[in-house]
Structures are given as C-alpha cells and as structure tokens.
A and B are shown apart, each in its own frame.
Chain A
Amino acid sequence: MKHRTEEELLAFLDGATDERAAIAAHLNECANCREELERIEGVFAALDAMPIPEPGEHFEERVWQRIAPRLGEKKTRWWEPFFVPQRMAALGGVVALVILAFFAGRITRRTAPAQEQMDAAKVRERVLVVAVGEHLGRTEMVLMELQNAPILRGEKAIDISETQRRAEDLVEENRLYRQTALKAGDQAMANTLDELERVLLDIANSPDELTAAAFETIRKRIEVQGLLFKVRVVKQGLDERKANPDAKPAENKTRITERNKV
C-alpha cells in the first residue's frame, strides 16, 4: 500500500485538498498514515496550547492615548465627502436636477452676464430646496411610521428591519444635505438635519428586533426633541421658498406656534 505524504496529510487537515475523499478512505485502511496524521495534529494541538497574556483591562485606552497625539488632522477638500460611494446615489439626484435646471434656463431666455450669475446662484439654491424638501418628506414618513407603529399587548420584540433599511439610506443623504446647508449658511436647516441624523443613526444601528422598551425610547426621543414638528417646519419653509424663490431662508423663529400633534 502506498502511504500518503506528509504534505498530503497536512492538506487534508487543512481542508485544502481536492482528494479529501480518497485520503479519508486511505486513512480508514492504513494505520501508519493514521498515526502520522495524529502526530501532525499533535503539532497543531501544541500551537493551540500556546498562551497569550492578556494585555490588560485598559489596553484599548492605552493604545488610543499613545496614538492620539500622533494623528494628524484630516484635511478634506470640500467636495471629497460627496464622492464617498454611499453618497453617490444622492449626488446623482442632485446632478440630474442641476442639468434639468440648466437646460430649462437655456430654453427660456438669454440674459446679461451679471444677471446670469445671479440666476445661477438661484438655480443652485433652488436645486437644494427641491432635493432637501424631498429628503425631508421621506424622513417624515420614517419618523411617522415609528411614532404610529402599534405595540401589541404581550409583544416581546418589534421588527423594525424595513424601517431600518430606509433609515440607513436616509443617513447618507442627510449628511450630504447637512453639509450643503452649512456651506450655504442655512444654520437652521443644518441644525435640524443634525438632530435628524442622530435619530436616523440610532434607528439604523438598532437591532432588527427591538424590545418594547427600546422601541419606546426611540419614540420618546423623536417626541421629546419635537423632531417631526421641526421636520415639518423646515419642509414648510422650503415649500415657501420653492413657491417664492426670492424669499430668505427660514430662521429658527417659526410662524407655526402650535406644535403638531402626531
């Protein structure tokens, strides 16, 4: 009987052979090769027995304290965050709107250069207004779904996986618009988008199935922060700007004096 080589037996142990069945059949019949296999297994057992001293309870903290002073500031160009893959979809939508607005402008009228510059700025603002308006509409839907979801008596876990997936998509969009709003100097919108981002992240990072208590915590947060209300205020301001492009961006002061009840 031809014995199996050490290399073949190692590959067998490693699961890295196409001859697995043939080697297994051989091992069944050949005591010599079985002993050889056991000796190789002995080496692996000895490797497994090698102790690794624990680096201590505060190891992670120590690593951070040592490297933190050596980390340079991340210098990002203003346009770089837009080209993160997850944001390309949202960016695509904005680009489509810009192209549409550009051609719409060309078809309607020719104007003087100074006027053209002003128009371009207006177009940019309008694009932001439309895109953010749509984003807020989608966010409002997610928040409303969570606020209105019924908790059945005796229900131990609530499945929010569907809402979570949508929240994940919205986080990316939200960040893009928040940065754009900051650059455009619209602090009120940026603040609301910042608050929204935190709640969306909470939803996106929660387990698929929440306990009734955890679910209630998220709901409370949406309610206490008056998020739905804020979303509606900003959205209403955007709708007005859409209807009257010359109007100033909405200030934090709002004409809505009574909080919407959900």
Chain B
Amino acid sequence: MREGVEMAEEVAVSDAIAVERTLGGDRDAYRVLVERHSRTVYRMAYRMMGNAHDAEDVVQEAFLRAYEKLKQFAGNANFGTWVYRIAANYAIDRLRQRNSEEAKREGSIKSGGQFLEVDPLSQVRDTSPSPERLAGSVQLAERMKAALNALSPAERTAIVMRHWDGCGIEEIAAVLNANSNATKNTVFRAVQKLRRALMPFLEEKETRAMGTEG
C-alpha cells in the first residue's frame, strides 16, 4: 500500500517536471505525459462512449486541450487526474451532441410517418430475449451496453466515474456542473435505471438457479 502511494507520488513529481519542460518549449516532454496517461483516459472514454473509435477521439482531444491549457495546470494537482477530468468533460459534451443528433434524426423519421414513440429504456426491456439467448455473459454485456446507451449523458458520466473509477462525489459534481446532492441523485438514478433494464435477465437467472437447486 505504502509502495503504491510512494509510486503515485513519484509519478506526480515526474509529471510535474514533464509539465514544466513542456511549458519551457520542450514538446517531446509532453509525449511522456501522453504515453503515461492515455490508456487510463481511454478506459474511461470507452465506458462513456461505448465504442473504440469515439473513445480514441476523446483521448486525442483531451490531450490537445490539456496542452493548450497547460499554463492553467501549473502543478496544482495530479496531471493524470486533471487530464482525466478534461476528457470526462469532453466526453459528456460528445454524448449530449450525439443524443441531440439522434433525437433530430428520429424527429425527421417521425415527420416521415415512420416513428414509433418509445422510451429508449423501455425498448431495452421490451426486447427482452428468451432465457436461452441470455444464458451467457456476452448477452449480459450486450444488454448492459444497451442499458448504458439509454442513460442520459449525466447519468452515464456519473456511473462511469463513480463505479468504475471510484471518483468522489465532488469530483463528479465538478464535471456535471451540479451540486453534491444533485450528483448523488444522478448516481442513484443511473443505478436504478440499469437495474430496471437488467431486472428481467437477473431475475431469470435467479429463477433458473432456483430451478436447478430444486
């Protein structure tokens, strides 16, 4: 544990030196920061965006933005945490943009008379496959993917940052631009929606397990 803390401190010191060198005009020093932190940012971006192409785009944009704002960083925090937050901010903007584009597309389909008014989450529930098809983890992952896609950008950001990356409520609140209580509610709403979406599958599994036991 102590070794982990010391290693994190070492990384922070060495990041601070790389930042300073970059600010001094040494562009290659920035490469060190990109190589050190891009994979962590990618994992978060993938969970937010749901596909590798958009996730890579988020990573690139986050490091470009971090470079442009590097003077504001000025060694006040951990560079990894800082660039992670920039990436989360960009990802939530992209999600909002994506949702609004999808809503426009759906709107135009509706005006063409082909639109069926359904809540995206209910679509996830309504297309509940049979127990046989849901037997494996691949199906569960697919269902979870659809459930995550049905969350609002804020809910998706909240669940990614809180559950997978263990971020504090204040940190998430800063990205969502909301207060702590509203952020806690967003986390709760996200879990609740995921639960509702997965309920048929989880309950089927339980029933099957009980049937096997009996």
Contact = CB atoms under 8 A, between A and B. Distances in A.
Interface of A: 6-7, 10-11, 14, 16, 39-40, 42-44, 46-47, 49-53, 55, 59-64, 66-68, 70-74, 76, 80-81, 84-86, 168, 171, 175, 201, 204-205, 207-208
A91 to B, nearest CB: 14
B124 interface: no
Given A42-B202, A59-B39, A85-B75, A50 B194 contact: no
A80 B70 CA distance: 13
Contacts, number: 119
Given A47-B144, A50-B47, A67-B64, 6 more contacts: A52-B43, A55-B42, A61-B35, A63-B59, A76-B23, A86-B75
A10 B186 CA distance: 12
Chain B at the A interface: mostly helix, strand, loop or mixed? helix
Chain A at the B interface: mostly helix, strand, loop or mixed? helix
Given A10-B191, A50-B47, A63 B63 contact: yes
Given A10-B188, A64-B35, A81-B23, A39 B63 contact: no
Nearest to B195: A43
Interface in B70-92: 70, 74-75
B14 interface: yes
A55 B164 contact: no
A187 to B, nearest CB: 18
Contact of A44 (B25, B67, B163): B163
A64 B192 contact: no
Interface stretch (B26-34, B101-109, B111-119): B26-34
Contacts of B59: 63
A168 B13 contact: yes
Contacts of A16: 169, 184
